Amino acid sequence: MHGHTRTSTTPATRYGDPIYYPTAVQHPVMPLAELPPGVEMVTLPNGYRTLAYTQPQPLAPAAVAQPVPAWAKTTALLAPTVGGGIAAAGFGISYAAPGLIAMTEALWAAIALIAAGTLAPLLLRTGRGATSRGAAPVQHVTQNITASGMFGRATGTLNQR
């Protein structure tokens, strides 16, 4: 019966199953001469005898704190600054968007003025040639140019009276 736990049984219960009560197993005791260094048999305050370490165990070598490199400090300090700058730029662009749209409209208006300035002398020349003959009255020319968006196509109408 080596390696098995001995048990004692009591009479069967009323359902017919016996109740097993385990008995204490005696573990082999290591001779004190074979104990590793620093381990001794001690008696605890409650009377039990047990094996215990009697000298403090050497601790693992403590990690030596190494200084933080300068590039890491610089990067850590710049990260919030760069992030804040990007956030401020986005915020500024959101405020500037209506002004940028107005500037594109102003640019299209300037293009319309330039176009009107180049067309007016051509129309005046044709009108002068007719007036020098004394045959035609003075003509009035109205030009309307419209464009939508930054890359929208400009359309214009000429009204002559």
Residue 105, pLDDT > 60, answer yes
Rounded to 5 degrees, what are φ and ψ at 39?
Answer: -115, 130
Q: What is the pLDDT of residue 58?
A: 63
Phi, psi of 38 (to 5 degrees): 90, -5
CA of residue 121 relative to chain centroid, distance: 61
**140-161 residue pLDDT tens:** 778 777 878 777 777 877 777 6
The Cβ of residue 147 has, within 10 Å, a number of other Cβ atoms equal to 18
Distance, in Å, from the CA atom of 93 to the CA atom of 101, rounded to the nearest integer, reads 12
Q: Is residue 127 scored above 70 in pLDDT?
A: no
